[in-house]
Structure formats: structure tokens, C-alpha cells
Amino acid sequence: MFSAWAVAGIPEIVAGIDLAAVIGDAISHTEEGLADGDILSITSKIVSKAEGRSVAAEDREDAITAETVRIVATREYPGGVTRIVENRQGLVLAAAGVDSSNTPDGTVLLLPLDPDASARALCAAIRARFGVRVGVVITDTLGRAWREGQTDVAIGAAGVRVMDDLRGSTDSGGRALNVTLPAVADEIAGATDLVKGKAAGLPVAIVRGLGHLVSGLDEPGARALVRPAAQDMFRLGSDEAYARGFAAGRADRAP
């Protein structure tokens, strides 16, 4: 059994602020405090703000283009085009993670440059301050193929196992588990989104009861959750895959 709750008292974050200190101060004023084995879930937006990832951009589309490494799929809608892309962090998501909500006019917010490194720095500082072994998960909101709506997932992690490898064990009936590999960091991100809320001004949550997932700072981060290209069965959107296949077929038939 585990529990999760939001941490109140996080002020508006500005570039250059000591985010670990701000989070630590807020935790110090809570009744629950911080215990060994706790996991902090931190919304990526405040990490980006602290790291100065706000950029001037009169046209959000230009910022999306600048952050895009590969276009996966596009879909026109009245007033524009939705782009699903791979961004600089290796994530496949809409609009490259560029966010224009809750930012000053004429600016957009980019994702942390290296979310795993950000998580490690926060985790190390919070462990040092409180003298307890905790993990950190940095979260962002993503849509899912074949599913409506969005959910939070882990884009950065430190001090916590991002996957719980059950392969080689057996189920309750004694049958071997050959492919069971829960993405527990994503599950933590989704669970804590329920208590943080998008408009409640609560960007940090604490999870207690999952201490078996907390580990050393050398544990692989959330980048380990990104499927390698060679194993990706859905690397392109259907329209893009069709167009590429059509072009390849025409090239093969050319005299």
C-alpha cells in the first residue's frame, strides 16, 4: 500500500532560484515531512522555470520546430497543424513539449535540457538536506497512441528504479513471467497527477510506501524508458509511413 499527497507552499518559480531549497523549505513546513524511501514527483514546468528554459517566441510553431529532431506524424485541424515529434530529449510527444500556458506573453517554456540530470541534482540536494534516502521523478503530460486524453509520465528520474523487472519470476499460479516489465516511474507520475492537479498550484507531490523502488543515484534515469528505434514498431504515423512506402515503391519501379 502507498499514499500520495501534494506539497503546499511552493511559490512562483523564477529563473536561477534554488529549486531544491524551495521544495525543501515547503516540505519542512508539512506535518508529514520526508521519510526514508519517499519519492518526490515534481512537475517539469517548475524545473524548466528554475533552469531558465523560457524563451522569447512570438510564434510558438517556430519554437516547436527548433526543438524537433524528427517528425513522427502531423494532422491538420481548423487553424493549424498538430505535430507529433521526437524532441531533443528523445521524447515523442505533441508540440515537442513546448508550453505556452502560465508563461508571460511572447514567451514559451521548453522542457528541461536534461531531465535526468535535473532529477539527480535535486535528489542529491534533498537527500543531503534531510538525511534520508529518497527518489525523484520529474513529470510531464503526454497523450497516448490509441487512447483519448492525457496522463503524466516520467521524463526524468533519479534514485528510483524506473522499471520493475518481473521477468523470470512467476505469477500466483506458478506460470513464468517472460515480458512483464512495469514502467513504475510512469505509474508514479500518473498517480501523483491526481493529487497535484493542473490548476491547483501544487507542482510537487510525495509518495510514501514504495521504498523498495528507491535506489542509488547511479540508477538509470527515465531515458531508459525511451524505446530504441530498432525496437519501435510504430516509429511513424500512418500517413507518414504510407507516404514513405509509396515513395520507396515508386523509386524501385523507376527505370
- pLDDT tens-digit readout, 183-211: 999 999 999 999 997 667 899 999 999 99
Tens digit of each residue's pLDDT (9 = 90 or more) over 60-107:
888 999 999 999 999 888 888 899 999 999 999 999 999 987 787 888
CA gap 223, 206 in Å, rounded: 22
- Inform me whether the pLDDT recorded for 180 exceeds 70: no
Q: How big is the CA angle at 25 (ends 153 and 158), to the nearest 5 degrees?
A: 35
What is the C-alpha end-to-end distance of the chain, expressed in Å? Answer: 66
Predicted confidence at residue 58, as pLDDT, reads 75
Predicted confidence at residue 157, as pLDDT, reads 98
**How far is CA 54 from its chain centroid?**
18
Burial class (CB in 10 A: 0-12, 13-18, 19+), 107: middle
pTM above 0.75, yes or no: yes
Tens digit of each residue's pLDDT (9 = 90 or more) over 217-249:
999 999 999 998 888 888 888 888 888 887 878
CA gap 114, 223 in Å, rounded: 10
